[in-house]
Structure 1
Amino acid sequence: MKPLRVLVVEDLEDDYLLVRDELVAAGFTVVSERVDTAETLERVLAARDWDLILSDYSMPQFTALDALRILHASRQPDLPLVIVSGSIGESSAVAALKAGASNYVMKGSLAQLVPVVDRELKDARTRRERNEAFVALERAVRARDEFLSIASHELKTPLTSLRLQTESLLRAARRGGDVDRTNERVTTRLEAIERNAQRLTHLIERLLEFTRVTSGAIELAREHVDLVALVGAVVAQLADTFHDARSDVTVTSPERLEGSWDRERLENMLNDLLSNAAKFGPDGPIAVELEDLGSAARLRIIDRGIGIADVDQQRIFGPYERAVPERHYGGFGIGLWLTRQIVEAHGGTIEVQSAPRAGSTFTVTLPKGLPA
């Protein structure tokens, strides 16, 4: 049985029942309603969704052309409307088709109704799928353009700093003067250059990883890894980040938690999740919890930051997606997407529990992948 929600614009109850019975006899499970005034048509179109409209051409209260105008002004303007008329001339049929009617059937030839309905439903489905694909493509193009804009900005910032520091060094070298003071300035500038070079390297590595992942499945370089030690190493690497965010980090874990994992990619995952916790939860504590589940390891990273609205909690794991304005927080918008790809490549899962202004908890479960 094929479900069909059909709105019938018809002033005669008997004709309405004939049309309905024809559809039921053809195997449709029909949900239908009859209307015979413009006001009722407007109300019913606004109240519920329909698959199809069947309309008489001429009625005492209004015509199929009036029905078309109401339909096109409604929230369902793309519904197919088939005219079912007892007497419609060729000129009237042409006018109705030009006004947007999908097709027409004579009431004296109702055997033609079902093939017409089948064809119009199929065409409507094709149009809907094409429109959805077009909307998705538009969104992808916008996301790509935004990503390229953000990437340009993120790469330009450290490059500008590198250029300024280098120019300052050149001026100092050309001036000469107090050697000790010059050496002190040179050391400061070189340290700034090193920091920006490291930032550039990290950004480029992120882009390269994104390119590798989007071009095919992740190839894991599994090795024996102690997740407790790896978490400790990443927390130490990010000490300056946590200091700048004024966030204290606590780690709760067993003595060891070992598995067969890709060390470098887990390090990238931890770096992303912990950096996000500091970025979006400044001035608040960050808790890292590790738990041995036997055949799997569970990691939780908990912050007390700005949180994530329900509507964004799945979207943020997509490429180029973000739940906050880029101008406030920066970043490419690919970190969580890459993190999910890494986790899923290991056969694991990642989830988030969050609410606005109530912080976020990211939970990663990773099968250990060790031989039995």
Structure 2
Amino acid sequence: MLRKIEAKVLIVDDLPENLLALRSLIQSEDRTLFQASSADEALSLLLEHEFALAILDVKMPGMNGFELAELMRGTEKTKHIPIIFVSAVGRDMDYAFRGYESGAVDFLHKPLSPFEVRSKVSMFVDLYRHRKALSMQLEVVEAARREQEALLTELRETQAELQKAVKMRDVFMSIASHELRTPLNGLILDVQLRRLRLEQGRMDAFSADKLREMITRDERQIRSLSRLIDDMLDVSRIRTGKLSVRPEPGDLGVLAGNVVESLAAQFTSTGSHVDLQVDGPAPVMMDEFRIEQVLANLLTNALRYGDGKPVSVRVRTEGEKVRAEVRDQGIGISEADQRRVFEQFERVSSADAPQGLGLGLFISEQIVQAHGGRIELSSRLGEGSCFSVVLPRRS
């Protein structure tokens, strides 16, 4: 394996015969030799390649070997390359100290000893290969560690998602069973009461006025059940990516007027009323059934949490956007809860308001986003809320 690691050796000398002599001594199939006849040429090679060893002649015209070594030590790419100086000077200690201060790891003295040259070069090449092999092994270990950490993080996230899913399922079952039972119990009690009166022969309980009252009450309970079931079906469609949206040209102001008109009786029955303001045409591409569902949900919430005070609806164009605002003067939503209310099964706490499944705003936001729009919320506790449906303007 070590032999497969490429090792490059640089030899620098201004005399061609010295380069040839060094090359003949150290060339081998397991290493690649580069040579330079000047410090400038050597620097170009050093910046282009990664070398296991540099063998520098001390005395060269221009920049000498010591100066080249000092420059190498001051450069990030080359500061760790081992340097062997080749010198014709004897083993003078001052000369050696200067070489080591310049960054040398060893010296070769002329006349060169073939055995000494080959031994030292082989030693530094082997050290380089061992260091590279260790670095590669460390990289493999580090990559494995990162992969394990990523898998562990993924497992933790999956576990958290599963725990959240289980919790949501439990919450859903608890809320759904309670919310579905309320209208269903009403229907069951009415049916039982009618059967009892029939068995008692009390036909006066089925006069035209009382029958109309019974039918109205039954329709209200059935609508409540249908709404809860539709919400659950819509959540299932959203989760599977099968929410059906078929946009067609329409006017958001006209649609808002129709929704307000359809809910007017509910507002009147609670002693509240709704004001509608449409500032001119509001052309959009929309699935009218789905956007009506969104506006109806926002108006129903405004009625539910509006504290019996007037609710206002305003539709206007803003450049390339069309905005429909539903504003109430009720209990408001705290800043901390304003993102939460768009999540599944999340509801604003209110002692006086019916709770529901907590799916309306979640479904509404998904519908609006499917139209390329968004829902904005502005609210303060005790000062009411303003929900805005913002859709692209149809050109």
TM-score, normalising length: structure 2:
0.59
1:215 aligns with 2:240: yes
Q: Deviations over 1:320-361 (max 9, x none)?
A: 233437996311111111111111111111111122222211
Which moved further from structure 2: 331-340 or 169-178? Answer: 169-178
Which residue does 1:339 correspond to in 2? 364
The aligned runs of 1:1-372 (5 Å cut-off) are 123-177=148-202, 179=204, 182-324=207-349, 329-369=354-394, 372=395
State whether residues 309 and 355 of structure 1, in contact with CA within 8 Å, keep that contact through their aligned partners in structure 2.
yes
- Whichever residue aligns with residue 263 of structure 1, its letter is E
Pick closer, same or farther for the CA change 1:119–1:226 going to 2, 3 Å. closer
Which residue does 1:87 correspond to in 2? none
- Whichever residue aligns with residue 216 of structure 2, its letter is E
Which moved further from structure 2: 119-128 or 356-365? Answer: 119-128
In 2, distance between residues paired with 1:177 and 1:362? 51
- Whichever residue aligns with residue 229 of structure 1, its letter is V
In 1, distance between residues paired with 2:229 and 2:352? 20
- Whichever residue aligns with residue 316 of structure 1, its letter is V
Pick closer, same or farther for the CA change 1:132–1:355 going to 2, 3 Å. farther
Which residue does 1:21 correspond to in 2? none
Deviation at 1:177, TM superposition (A): 4.8
Pick closer, same or farther for the CA change 1:169–1:248 going to 2, 3 Å. same
Q: Structure 2: 5+ residue runs without aligned partners?
A: 1-76, 78-133
Q: Deviations over 1:195-251 (max 9, x none)?
A: 212222222222222222221153322233222222122112222432354433111
In 2, distance between residues paired with 1:329 and 1:167? 25
Bigger radius of gyration: 2
Deviation at 1:121, TM superposition (A): 5.9
In 1, distance between residues paired with 2:180 and 2:220? 14
- Whichever residue aligns with residue 287 of structure 2, its letter is D
In 2, distance between residues paired with 1:153 and 1:183? 33
Number of residue pairs matched? 263
Pick closer, same or farther for the CA change 1:350–1:298 going to 2, 3 Å. same
Pick closer, same or farther for the CA change 1:222–1:306 going to 2, 3 Å. same
State whether residues 245 and 282 of structure 1, in contact with CA within 8 Å, keep that contact through their aligned partners in structure 2.
no
3-state DSSP of counterpart to 1:238: helix
State whether residues 312 and 326 of structure 2, in contact with CA within 8 Å, keep that contact through their aligned partners in structure 1.
yes
What percentage of residue pairs aligned between the two structures are identical?
A: 34
Which residue does 2:112 correspond to in 1? none
In 1, distance between residues paired with 2:314 and 2:200? 55
Pick closer, same or farther for the CA change 1:207–1:147 going to 2, 3 Å. same
Deviation at 1:189, TM superposition (A): 2.0
3-state DSSP of counterpart to 1:357: coil
State whether residues 235 and 363 of structure 2, in contact with CA within 8 Å, keep that contact through their aligned partners in structure 1.
yes
Which residue does 1:85 correspond to in 2? none
Pick closer, same or farther for the CA change 1:131–1:283 going to 2, 3 Å. same
Deviation at 1:300, TM superposition (A): 1.1
In 2, distance between residues paired with 1:116 and 1:328? 59
Which residue does 1:103 correspond to in 2? none
In 2, distance between residues paired with 1:327 and 1:154? 16
Which moved further from structure 2: 249-258 or 320-329? Answer: 320-329
Deviation at 1:134, TM superposition (A): 1.6
State whether residues 147 and 333 of structure 1, in contact with CA within 8 Å, keep that contact through their aligned partners in structure 2.
no
Question: What value does the CA root-mean-square deviation take over the aligned residues?
Answer: 3.0
Q: Structure 1: 5+ residue runs without aligned partners?
A: 1-24, 26-109
- Whichever residue aligns with residue 157 of structure 1, its letter is T
State whether residues 305 and 353 of structure 2, in contact with CA within 8 Å, keep that contact through their aligned partners in structure 1.
no
State whether residues 144 and 320 of structure 1, in contact with CA within 8 Å, keep that contact through their aligned partners in structure 2.
no
State whether residues 169 and 189 of structure 1, in contact with CA within 8 Å, keep that contact through their aligned partners in structure 2.
no
In 2, distance between residues paired with 1:255 and 1:116? 67
State whether residues 247 and 371 of structure 2, in contact with CA within 8 Å, keep that contact through their aligned partners in structure 1.
no
Pick closer, same or farther for the CA change 1:358–1:113 going to 2, 3 Å. farther
- Whichever residue aligns with residue 142 of structure 1, its letter is K
